[in-house]
């Protein structure tokens, strides 16, 4: 308490900006949830600018955290540190970045097997707003909040030094930047010129990644472990990969000895890219089929033709952008899963996913259960899937968990 009071006096004396929370609203911060909402703040001093570090205090003057201020966002401040002794600056960020990199050694221990992974995952690595994905020797950086934006150049310098990666490409074009009052930014941050397509290795398979034009930072790294699991189940099966993007699951199905792989996506460039990735790994194109079509339409066609598969992957884009879209999204998940169940042979496997953070694991499981009732199909859950561990979730920040998946056997 003495230290806290001292800090409080220091803070109000110096130029250090502060925020004071309403009585009771400090609870989530003391439980180490890193978001401070605008409605929780009763007083702001020092006129903090976008991203500036503020000291957060409880109503009774206790120091809570150092946080990045974001004047435009409903999430008005995001916590960097709960330690009053920390100084939010180069040494602090060097330490946090070094620790994130160190933690990845457990997740991707052998770069000859997997050299592409998420190195920094925002709040889950104590660095709110900063996403860094490593694709071989190239880093792709995404800055999503006012706080990460203010320190972006510093982050780039620290990352270049810590990893030895020469190219850092920026993909700060996620929609959520708008909520922070920031425009999209993309381009080379360090080194370069970035080659358009970077070749990576994931669980021993090769993929080309378009870091400048691909989805997210170029590749769905979050599905790495699930693709490997699919490989284990693919032998001798007729596989349908819906929403195939650049063919992650298709190539893994072939690696696992699938009999035939049909890949569906509405995007022609994605399909071309996927075919390129199949060839890159030396698989014959003879047992691959490509369909540029809406997946709902394609599956309805399968049902009416009576076409059947032994394994179907459903990895759709986010159906629910927020909780408001839950009902509509639930119906879409139900419909698509029902159509897939109808298109599976008895004993067939459904790999079904939802990447909507707003849809919880229970909501998702309910949608799949409704699908089974209507198909109708008898089901057994073979595996429960989630995002790869380089996209970690901390117990205090469950919002980081967004990818849910089930492997369901259909009878
Ligand atoms: N499973 C992929 C990632 C899927 S991303 C992987 O492992 O890499 C979602 C994909 O769905 C995108 O490629 C997008 O082009 C495609 N898509 C979105 N809506 C679609 C629709 N209605 N029908 C078919 N494809 C669609």
Nearest CA to ligand 1 atom 16: 243
Whether the pLDDT of residue 409 is over 90: the answer is yes
What confidence score (pLDDT) does residue 8 get? 52
Phi, psi of 379 (to 5 degrees): -130, 150
Q: How far apart are CA 409 and CA 345, in angstroms?
A: 10
Q: Is the pLDDT of residue 12 over 80?
A: no
Token pair, residue 179, equals: 């909520």
CA of 328 to the centre of ligand 1 (A): 18
Q: Which of 316, 332, 335 to mutate to test the pocket of ligand 1 (most atoms within 8 A of CB)?
A: 316
Q: Which segment of 10-14, 68-72, 222-226 scores lowest on mean pLDDT?
A: 10-14
Residue 10 pLDDT grade (very low, low, confident, very high; cuts 50, 70, 90): low
Share of the chain above pLDDT 90, in %: 91
In sequence order, which residues have a C-beta less than 8 Å from that of residue 145 and are 6 or more positions away?
51, 68, 70, 73, 75, 78, 128, 129, 180
For residues 336 and 299, the answer to whether their CB atoms sit within 8 Å is: yes
pLDDT of residue 109: 87
Mean pLDDT of the 161-181 span:
95
The β-bridge partners of 45 are: 18
Residues 85-113 have a mean pLDDT of 96
Quote the ligand 1 centre to 310 CA distance (angstroms). Answer: 20
Quick check: 71 and 50 in contact, CB under 8 A?
yes
Pocket probe for ligand 1: among 209, 230, 243, 339, the residue whose CB has the most ligand atoms within 8 Å is: 243
Residue with tokens 């850092």: 168
Residue 329: is its pLDDT beyond 90? yes
Ligand 1 geometric centre to CA of 15 (Å)? 49
Which residue intervals of 234-267 are DSSP H helices?
Answer: 248-255
| 238-242 sheet: strands from edge to edge | 288-292, 260-265, 238-242, 309-314, 344-354, 404-410, 379-386
What is the sign, positive or negative, of the torsion defined by CA atoms of 333, 227, 249, 163? positive
What is the average pLDDT score of the chain?
Answer: 95
pLDDT category, 15, cuts 50, 70, 90?
A: confident
Contact 189, 214 (CB under 8 A): no
How far is the centre of ligand 1, averaged over its atoms, from the C-alpha of 13 (Å)? 54
In angstroms, rounded to a whole number, what is the distance separating the alpha carbons of residues 370 and 377?
10
Q: Is the pLDDT of residue 4 over 80?
A: no
Task: Give the SS3 label for residue 246.
Answer: coil
Q: pLDDT digit string (tens) for 200-254?
A: 999 999 999 999 999 999 999 999 999 999 999 999 999 999 999 999 999 999 9
Q: Could you give the residue numbers annotated as active site?
A: 355
pTM: 0.95
List residues near ligand 1 (CB under 6 A). 220, 223, 243, 245-246, 248-249, 265-267, 270, 294-295, 315, 317
Atom of ligand 1 nearest to the CA of 227: 7
Taking phi over 0 as left and psi of -120 to 50 as alpha, with beta for the rest, 129 belongs to left
Atom of ligand 1 nearest to the CA of 317: 9
Whether the pLDDT of residue 410 is over 70: the answer is: yes
Report the nearest atom of ligand 1 relative to the CA of 241.
1
Nearest Cα to 118, choosing from 133, 100, 128? 133
How many other C-beta atoms are found inside a 10 Å radius of the C-beta of residue 201?
16
- Per-residue pLDDT tens for 118-153? 999 999 999 999 999 999 999 999 999 999 999 999
């Amino acid at each position: 308490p003495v230290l806290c009071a001292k800090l409080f006096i220091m803070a109000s004396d110096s130029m250090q900006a502060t925020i004071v929370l309403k009585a009771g609203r400090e609870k989530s911060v003391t439980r180490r949830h890193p978001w401070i909402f605008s409605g929780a703040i009763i007083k702001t001093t020092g006129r903090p600018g976008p991203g500036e570090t503020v000291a957060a205090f409880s109503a009774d003057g206790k120091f809570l955290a150092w946080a990045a201020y974001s004047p435009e966002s409903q999430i008005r401040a995001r916590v960097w540190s709960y330690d009053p002794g920390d100084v939010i600056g180069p040494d602090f960020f060097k330490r946090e970045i070094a620790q994130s990199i160190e933690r990845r050694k457990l997740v991707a221990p052998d770069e000859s097997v997997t050299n592409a992974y998420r190195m920094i995952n925002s709040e889950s690595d104590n660095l709110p707003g900063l996403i860094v994905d490593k694709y071989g020797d190239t880093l792709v950086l995404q800055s999503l909040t006012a706080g990460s934006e203010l320190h972006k150049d510093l982050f780039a310098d620290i990352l270049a030094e810590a990893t030895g990666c020469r190219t850092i490409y920026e993909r700060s074009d996620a929609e959520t930047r708008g909520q922070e009052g920031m425009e999209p930014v993309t381009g080379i941050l360090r080194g370069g010129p970035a080659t358009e397509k970077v070749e990576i290795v994931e669980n021993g398979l090769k993929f080309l990644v378009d870091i400048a034009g691909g989805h997210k930072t170029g590749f769905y790294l979050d599905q790495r472990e699930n693709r490997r699991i699919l490989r284990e189940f693919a032998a001798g099966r007729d596989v349908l990969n819906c929403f195939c993007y650049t063919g992650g699951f298709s190539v893994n199905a072939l690696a696992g000895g699938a009999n035939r792989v049909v890949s569906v996506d509405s995007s022609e460039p994605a399909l071309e890219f996927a075919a390129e990735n199949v060839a890159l790994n030396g698989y014959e194109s003879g047992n691959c089929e490509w369909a540029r079509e809406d997946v709902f339409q394609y599956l309805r066609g399968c049902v009416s033709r009576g076409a059947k598969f032994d394994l179907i992957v459903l990895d759709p884009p986010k159906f629910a952008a927020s909780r408001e879209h839950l009902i509509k999204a639930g119906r879409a998940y139900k419909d698509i899963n029902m159509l897939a169940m109808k298109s599976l042979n008895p004993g067939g496997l459904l790999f079904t996913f939802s990447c909507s953070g707003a849809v919880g694991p229970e909501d998702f499981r309910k949608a799949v259960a409704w699908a089974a009732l209507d198909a109708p199909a008898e089901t057994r859950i073979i595996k429960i899937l989630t995002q790869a561990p380089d996209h970690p979730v901390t117990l205090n920040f469950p919002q980081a968990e967004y990818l849910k998946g089930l492997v369901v056997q259909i009878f």
